[in-house]
Structures are given as C-alpha cells and as structure tokens.
Structure 1
C-alpha cells in the first residue's frame, strides 16, 4: 500500500503524532528493510503494534475508497472501533491517532496486571463453564465471537489454568497478540484516566454509519466519545450478536480492513451466506479488485464483449439412395443457401431469462422488470448473481466470459438481458426442405449399391465418462491458469480459501468456468459453492455430474 502517495501521507501523519506522544513511531520500528513480526512487536514494542494495526485499517479504507469502493457500514472490533470512527469521518486521522495514543498512555501508566488474552475454540456458554472452575475472578469473558470462538482476558496465572482446563476437555486455547487484558475490570483505573484524557472529544457528522459491538448500537453525531471509548476497557465485545443482527438487516458482504482474515472468518462462521473479502490476506483479490467489486454500478464501464461468429453452413448433402431403385430416382435438388443466422430478439431473451430466474429464486416472473435492481430490490446477493449469470451463460451458449467481466457491472435485470442480447451467438434458421426433382436414371441393381450408399441408422456408442484422474488434471490445469499458481498446490485436501487464499467470489467464477469446460448444464437447485471448499470436493462434484448421479447438496 505504501506505493500510493496518499497512503504514505496518511501513514506519515499517524507516525508523526505517535512519535511525538509515545516516543516511538512506525518508521523507526515497523517500516524497516526487514520489518519485525507481530510477535516481535508484542515483545519489544507493544504500543507500536497497536499503532500499526490502526494505521493499516485507516490507510486500507482510504485506499479502497480512492479506488471507487462504496462501503455502507463500518463495524469496529475492540481497538478497531477507533479506526472505524476515523473511516466514518466521526474523527479526523489526526484526532483518531491522538485518541489512540491517549488510550495507550493510560494503559501504560495504570495496567500493572501483566494480563493478556486467550481465544477459546468454543461458544460463550462453554467458556463460562470453564471460568466457573476458577476460584478467583481474575479472568472474564472479554469477547463473544460467535459459536466457534470466545476470548477471555485475565492475569497470566488465570489464563495458564484456563488453557490447561480447556485442553483437558478438547477445547483449543490460542494466546492472542494483545498487550493488555482488554474488556476486563482489571483495567478500571486505566478506564478512568483514558476518559479524563479525551474529555470533550465529540463525534463529527458521520459520512458512513459506525456500529459498535460493545455498545450494541450505532454511534451518533455530536455525542461525547470519551466515556464511550473508555468504557471499552471494562466492557465485553458482543461481535457474534452484532454479526447476526446486521445480517438480519441485510449485511451480506464483509470486508476485512486489516492484515488478516480473522474477523471475516468469524463472520462466516456465524452466517455462512456471508461473502468475505480480504484485500490484504488473499492472493486472488487485490485492493484494486476488491474496490472494483464494491464500486457503485450506477455508471459501469461496459466490459469488452466478443460476439461469437455466425455458424458456418456446410454443403448440401444428397438424400440416401433406396434399394431397390426404380427407373426414376427422387434426388435432392441443390439446396439454396441457408438463411442468415438470426439472433433471438430481446423480448425472447428477456422471457427466457425471466423464467430461469423465477425458477431459481422461486419468485413470480412479474418482479423481473428491466429496472429491477437484483440486490437492492430483489435481495439477490453478489454470489447468487454470479451463479445465476453462469446458468444464463450455459443456457444461451455464451462460452467463456470476456476478460474484465464483472457481475457487478450488470446490477439490474435489464442489464443482464442486454448483455446476453449483445453476446448470444446467432442461431441458424432451419433451411427449407429441398424439393424432389424427377430425374431419369439407368436401372440399378441392388448389387451395385454398396452399404455405404444405403446406410442403416445405428445407435451412436455412448460417450465414455472421463475417469476421476483425467477430470482432476483438467480442473487442476484450469485453476492453475486462472490463478497463476503451480499445479502441484491443487491436491484433493487443499482448502481453496483457507490454504490457497481463493475467496468465495473467485471460487464462484472458477466453478462457472469448470461448468462451461465440462458442459455440465444447469446446476442443481440448492447448489452453493461453499459446499465444495476443497479442490477434491470440486472434482468429486464434476465426476458425479458427468456420471449422471444425483449431486448431493447440503
């Protein structure tokens, strides 16, 4: 990101304030020829670790917006609420950095507990059962991240005992890169000092709404932020409940404004229909690609469309001879040139797509008007739109989509119809039946007619289904070409997202190309790319589909 001039200016501003207030900044600690690892920062410069996380989120958000991304809601997670307030313009970059530094200084002065944080691979109820086995109250549930993860914070001794108890009952404990026991009453003195330090800081008018999983509500323009942000020190984070609430309200695409994929993975564990975008963690979705995906579609740049050439028409073929042959043989007159291939008219295309979409979504056909916004009006998220577009491509024989194609460029039903109308290959009109002409011919005996001249229709042999290894090889070559990865990484057990960094949008596009390559036709009702997370699962799906077996859909 630092190659962008604006990002460098933002980082310089944050670095200057941090250096002035904390005595250390990013340039002399993080932005080195050989930068330290997060673990090294936690050990040697824990304060700068927090500044680096803040700077990454703020700079990434600004970079996405400068590339045209439209983000409609911001959600902070603990420290991330300060970054979210800056991104939402409730605070300027300078104000947010100063608030962060005051937070660090309050903790530096008042937290003598030596406490840390531990993530447990279980839900809140089970975590509370583990905590109940301790005699003291030095550890509490700090973050409820949903059914698969709960974070506790406390003193080193308490966390050591919790980790041992968890291991004994099969719950994994993972120490976090947190320099303090956040969201714990142990930080009460630091809370009071932090509130005093930032007294009078108020939220500006927010350009983008900011939701707080700690407060359980949206931030409001004009409200004093000091008491609210200070309360974070001692108040738990309800991230799981927040994801559920926002998903119920229509949130479908979550973008990780940080260096990893932790939060988007948590969001997907809570709502499997979530589309997760990780511009800094995945190898297949760069910042510019994610921004393009999130760009408003009011005036999309039309992708280059390569219209298929008309089908060529072969030479006329005489009808078969008959045995025995009479004196006058009906032979075909020369066939006239076949009529020019015709593209279906727009109304016919619209009707077919309307029927297809109505069947897939179980909607009445009447809702699919040209102006209907597929997501805003009909609630069809981007992943589902990609799957539906693939079925349209199969139905109309569009072949491989043009370079630069993006489903987001076709947000309305009418835009989809127009794309197909421009791209659909012409369909040859049937040639008129040749008129027989009586032609004199010498008598022909049956012996003079060879079997080749009097063919007998025979059933064509059934096409052999490729074996699994052949299918795997073809998909491996296709995926390697699309992602520019070595073929060796595509083993059966390879998780496409977790191991190879292929996000769900890219997986959907790749699955569509696999379907086209193998001529799979319409995918079964209930099909979800998320049900095929490994390379082997994709191969298995194709094998079953080619074999005519019913494909299981979870």
Structure 2
C-alpha cells in the first residue's frame, strides 16, 4: 500500500506536543535531544510553554519540525514502514524533507528558526493581513488580480477554501469585493502576511542559507508547495524552498497529484488533524490517518 506522509504547518502546535512520544520511543527522544542541542531552550518551550512564546513564529516553526519528525521516526521504527511520497504544508515541507533523508534535522531546525525570524521581520506589525475565503478559487484569483496594491492567494487549502495575503488595505478591499460577489471572508489572526510578495526580503535573506545547506539523496520524493510536483533532485531544493516564502501553497493540487501518483493512504505526522481534514475535503473518499501520539504509534494499523 502506497503511503503519502503529510506534515503540518503553523497553527498545529500545542504546548506538550510529542512529550508522550519521547517517553515511549527512543527515536522520538533522540529528535527532541537533538533539537535542544541545536536550539537550546526549544525543548523546554515545547514541553512547558508558555503558549504565547511557543506561538511566536521563530519558535513555532522549529518546534513543529521537531514534533513532526519525532512522530515520523517513532512510527517508522515501530512499524518498519516507509512512505512512497511525502508533502508538507508550508513550514511542513521542511519536516517532509527531513523525513525523506535529504535534509539533516539540525539544518532544518536552524533554517526554520531563521525563516521564522525573517518572515516576522519582513513586514511591520499591522501593515499586512491574511483572510480565509470560502468560495470559488477562480473568483479569488480574479479579484486579487484586479485589486490595487499587494494581495494574492497564499494558500489553496481546499476546493472552496483559499487564504489571501498582502497589504492590509488591499486585503480589506479584496475582501469587500469578494463579499459583494457572495463569498464568505474570515480575517485571520496572524503575525505577518505569509506567502505573498511582501515576503520578498525574507526570501532574499534566506536564499544564501539555503544555498549553503547540504542536501542528500532522497529516500522518497517530496512534493513541493510551489510546483505541486514530486521532486527527487537535491540540487533543486534551494530554489524551491526560497520561492515557497513568497509563493502560493498549492495544497489542493498537491493532494490531487499524490493521488494520481498512486497514494492509497494519507498519514499526517505531528500534532493536530488539519491536513487530514483538508485531504477529506479535496478527496472525500481518501483514507486518512493521524500519527502524533504514542498511542497512535503503538496502535497503528493500515
């Protein structure tokens, strides 16, 4: 059975995530020990908070990588299974690359800490905004393209759920037009306008770090956010990960492409169930599973 391993992005974090895994599985403990050695203080933040500090972008990103990779490695050691493919939502792409063996865990933690810092610094607080839009994504594209200022689709999460991102005034103007056309718009509480052109300073600053990172051969392909296509070429990763910062997360196309490639079961590794929920909206008949706790690892059945 071909498994697609999925890894969540920001918003899936919770204080204490993965701590039952570290107590039950040495592979998970090794991940958390490695995270602490790489970014001192991160483990205490994951295990005990406070929540407001864990939620900070520069902390949340490496923390979610640690929690997701810990779940994956515990599961792989316990079951002996290997996915056929992987994909991650935004930040989760780094977790997917660690799982595939092409990116070292310590490098992923350092890169996502830096990525979080740069994304937060790219736009002053209050200048940007993001909103979730329920309705036809083609209408969202059309309205964003016609709205003055910077506003663009950031995440194509589900067939009728698209997140827009950009300058607050432009996002508000697009939202007003979308509502006038009968679409539902929900403003999001975010610290910065991710996955839009305003993130260009972060993309430019992270690019040298990506270019100096060593990427190893893939154990299995990882579908990239910006192309929604399988990638097994380590040399392509610096550009793909840089473009991801300003580009749209093409999640609907990614899940459809995984299914077309033969994925028969979709397993979300790490805290939360956001991605399995989205998969069900994209492919209503898809088989989905979650692996984020010790119980889910030890009781795993395909």
Q: Shared fold (TM-score greater than 0.5)?
A: yes
Change (3 A) 1:111 1:18: farther
Change (3 A) 1:133 1:259: same
Out of 68, 73, 80, the position equivalent to 1:57 is: 68
Matched, 1:31 2:47: yes
- Aligned pairs for 1:143-542 (under 5 A) are 143-167=155-179, 170-176=182-188, 178-223=190-235, 225-280=237-292, 286-290=296-300, 292-293=301-302
Taking the aligned partners of 1:14 and 1:85, their CA distance within structure 2 comes to: 16
Change (3 A) 1:154 1:249: same
Post-superposition offset of 1:184: 0.9
Taking the aligned partners of 1:16 and 1:255, their CA distance within structure 2 comes to: 29
Change (3 A) 1:161 1:108: same
Post-superposition offset of 1:173: 3.3
Matched, 1:3 2:23: yes
| Structure with greater strand share of residues | 2
Flag the structure with larger Rg.
1
Taking the aligned partners of 2:236 and 2:145, their CA distance within structure 1 comes to: 37
**Per-residue CA distance 1:281-320 (angstroms, 9 max, x = gap):** 9xxx822223x32xxxxxxxxxxxxxxxxxxxxxxxxxxx
**Per-residue CA distance 1:314-353 (angstroms, 9 max, x = gap):** xxxxxxxxxxxxxxxxxxxxxxxxxxxxxxxxxxxxxxxx
Post-superposition offset of 1:275: 0.5
- Aligned residue number for residue 374 of structure 1: none
In the alignment, structure 2 segments of 5+ residues that lack a partner are 1-20
Contact in 1 for aligned 2:27/2:77 (Cα 8 Å): no
Taking the aligned partners of 1:109 and 1:246, their CA distance within structure 2 comes to: 34
| Structure with greater helix share of residues | 2
Change (3 A) 1:164 1:191: same
Taking the aligned partners of 2:188 and 2:215, their CA distance within structure 1 comes to: 30
- Aligned residue number for residue 14 of structure 1: 35
Contact in 1 for aligned 2:134/2:183 (Cα 8 Å): yes
TM-score of the aligned structures, taking structure 2 as reference length: 0.81
In the alignment, structure 1 segments of 5+ residues that lack a partner are 294-554
- Aligned residue number for residue 122 of structure 1: 135
Cα-Cα RMSD: 2.7
Alignment length (residue pairs): 279
Taking the aligned partners of 1:49 and 1:101, their CA distance within structure 2 comes to: 8
TM-score of the aligned structures, taking structure 1 as reference length: 0.46
Taking the aligned partners of 2:175 and 2:53, their CA distance within structure 1 comes to: 23
Post-superposition offset of 1:164: 4.9
**Per-residue CA distance 1:166-206 (angstroms, 9 max, x = gap):** 55555333445653322211111211110012323242111
